[in-house]
Amino acid sequence: MEVYVGKTGLSKTFQADFKAEVKCPHCKGGIARIGFVAREDGGKLMCDLHPNDFDDEKGWLHDVCAVAFYICGKCFAGIVEWNQS
């Protein structure tokens, strides 16, 4: 896994680029700014941590993923967006 601090990781994704800022879902009017992006590029993968069983409502990742972590400047909540290849 590679970790990219700040805006350097916005394009380290398997789908559309991550945004530099997102609206905070935890407070009214808060803006969360990118903290870091973690992207799997091999080795031990998160998709292997749990079985993927949608029939029992225990769905899990099925491929390598990229995770963007944001921090709200108003309430300091953490917000995560992710995608997979």
pLDDT tens, 38-63?
A: 999 888 898 889 888 878 778 888 89
Is the model's pTM score more than 0.75? Answer: yes
Instruction: Provide the pLDDT confidence category of residue 35 given band limits of 50, 70 and 90.
Output: very high
pLDDT at 36: 98
DSSP letter string, the chain: -EEEEGGGGTT-SSSSPPPSEEE-SSSSS-EEEEEEEEE--SSS-GGGSS--BGGGTB----S-EEEEEEEETTT--EEEEEEE-
